[in-house]
């Protein structure tokens, strides 16, 4: 009797975190085939996955998580044991201009994926299956002081259309877990950085502007604080949650390393040997949260997970990657 590969369906796997995750997972889990289902919007880029595109354990299918027929076809054709949903519109500024686009993908898309997965697994034995929803610390809203932290039981108080749609998706995942017994897990991570991140995002924008000799735009006073994690540490945490997390549970994933936006810009300018004052203040973004900070002790203890990267080392390595791969972000 032959050895059967397990199958992981990844939605949104051509984006920043999804593509890093697929490469990490194929490298560390040799008994899995990974099916990448992605719509390839502006943030999805198959160039991110060139090094695995010929891997016999990797399959790409172009499709939208809102497309019931296509999602059902993928489920019936590949019969995944596990599903991880990375597919999302995630650029906060764009959500302010186009909230309906975010509602469609992040809420309706997640609902469609849940419904299709529930129907498929109900017919084909739900035992030992897992659905993991990749979420964000932004669903908790803003911390207005320098001392508090969000736990998994903190209220959901999102400030932007983006974070509101992610909170809505999380609540749908919770509802499917409670109502239908869907074996679902939610992870909520702090801000990610690393290779292959879209140049609209804060750290790639800082690096690309500094490399191009342009001032780095900073919202408001620049004192908003973010917690940052290297994408590879996030990928490791998601893998641990997928295999060892308890269905129905939520896991915060954070590094514990916080820094203001202005200090992050200055760190990057320093690494590149640029003047520290090469920044320009721009008008505050509507609904801009002051501080995010996660208590990740549940993931540390229950999943036996912790970060490998220190922020200073990870940012230096990331700056070098963008410096050496200008053709990627120029496109």
Residues (pLDDT < 50) of the chain are: 1-2
Q: Please report, for residues 35, 72, 77, 314, the alpha-carbon distance to residue 57 in angstroms, rounded to integers and kept in the order given.
A: 8, 21, 15, 29
Domain 6-196+228-257+288-309, CATH homologous superfamily name and number: NAD(P)-binding Rossmann-like Domain (3.40.50.720)
- Is 257 known to be catalytic? no
The predicted pLDDT at position 3 comes to 57
With contact defined as beta carbons under 8 Å apart, do 236 and 24 qualify? Answer: yes
Q: Where are the domains of the chain?
A: 6-196+228-257+288-309
Which residue among the candidates 162, 193, 292, 322 is catalytic per the annotation?
162
Which residue among the candidates 38, 137, 227, 289 is catalytic per the annotation?
137
The predicted pLDDT at position 172 comes to 98
Backbone angles phi, psi at 271, to 5 degrees: -60, -35
- Is 146 known to be catalytic? no
Which residue among the candidates 64, 138, 227, 233 is catalytic per the annotation?
138
Q: What is the pTM of this model?
A: 0.95
Model confidence pLDDT, tens digit, residues 76-134? 999 999 999 999 887 676 778 788 888 899 999 999 999 999 999 988 776 789 999 99
The predicted pLDDT at position 45 comes to 86
Model confidence pLDDT, tens digit, residues 33-49? 999 999 998 778 889 99
- Is 140 known to be catalytic? no
């Amino acid at each position: 009797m032959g050895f059967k590969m397990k199958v992981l369906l990844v939605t949104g796997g051509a984006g920043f975190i999804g593509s890093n995750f697929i490469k990490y997972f194929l490298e560390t889990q040799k008994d899995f085939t990974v099916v990448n289902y992605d719509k390839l919007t502006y943030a999805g880029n198959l160039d991110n996955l060139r090094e695995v595109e010929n891997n016999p354990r990797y399959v790409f299918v172009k499709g939208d998580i809102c497309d019931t027929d296509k999602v059902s076809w993928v489920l019936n054709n590949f019969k995944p044991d596990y599903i991880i949903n990375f597919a999302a519109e995630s650029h906060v500024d764009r959500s302010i201009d186009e909230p309906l686009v975010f509602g469609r993908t992040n809420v309706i898309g997640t609902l469609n994926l849940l419904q299709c997965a529930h129907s498929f697994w109900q017919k084909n034995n739900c035992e030992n299956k897992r659905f993991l929803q990749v979420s964000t610390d932004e669903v908790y809203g803003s911390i207005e002081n320098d001392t508090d932290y969000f736990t998994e039981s903190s209220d959901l108080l999102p400030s932007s259309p983006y974070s509101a749609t992610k909170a809505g998706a999380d609540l749908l995942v919770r509802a499917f877990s409670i109502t239908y017994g869907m074996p679902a897990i939610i992870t909520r991570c702090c801000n990610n950085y690393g290779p292959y991140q879209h140049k609209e995002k804060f750290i790639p924008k800082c690096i690309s502007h500094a490399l191009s000799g342009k001032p780095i735009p900073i919202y408001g006073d620049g004192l908003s604080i973010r917690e940052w994690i290297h994408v590879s540490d996030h990928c490791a945490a998601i893998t641990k949650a997928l295999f060892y997390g308890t269905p129905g549970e939520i896991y915060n994933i954070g590094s514990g390393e916080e820094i203001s936006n202005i200090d992050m810009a200055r760190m990057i300018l320093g690494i590149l040997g640029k003047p520290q004052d090469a920044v320009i203040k721009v008008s505050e973004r509507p609904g801009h949260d002051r501080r995010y900070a996660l208590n990740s002790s549940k993931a540390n203890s229950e999943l036996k997970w912790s970060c490998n990267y220190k922020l200073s080392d990870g940012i230096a390595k990331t700056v070098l990657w963008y410096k050496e791969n200008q053709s990627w972000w120029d496109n």
